[in-house]
Amino acid sequence: MAATLGVATFSYAPFAIFCIASPVIAIVMAYCGIRMPRVSAQQAPSG
């Protein structure tokens, strides 16, 4: 992948933690019951 991006692997390695953290945070939020509120059709923006 380093050849495709044109940067060294260690240059973008610190940002790879977000690739691992995102699913973990989603699982924790689902376990805790944290979610986005539902919007009815009347409240939804038209466009």
- pLDDT for 27 equals 95
- pLDDT for 6 equals 85
Block residue for tokens 């944290």: 34
pLDDT digits (tens, 9 = 90+) for 19-41: 889 999 999 999 999 988 888 87
Residue ranges in 1-47 assigned as alpha helix (H): 2-5, 9-12, 17-32
- pLDDT for 16 equals 85
Distances in whole angstroms, Cα of residue 17 to Cα of each of 7, 21, 27: 17, 6, 16
Q: How far apart are CA 43 and CA 47, in angstroms?
A: 12
- pLDDT for 44 equals 77
- pLDDT for 34 equals 92
Read off the pTM.
Answer: 0.56
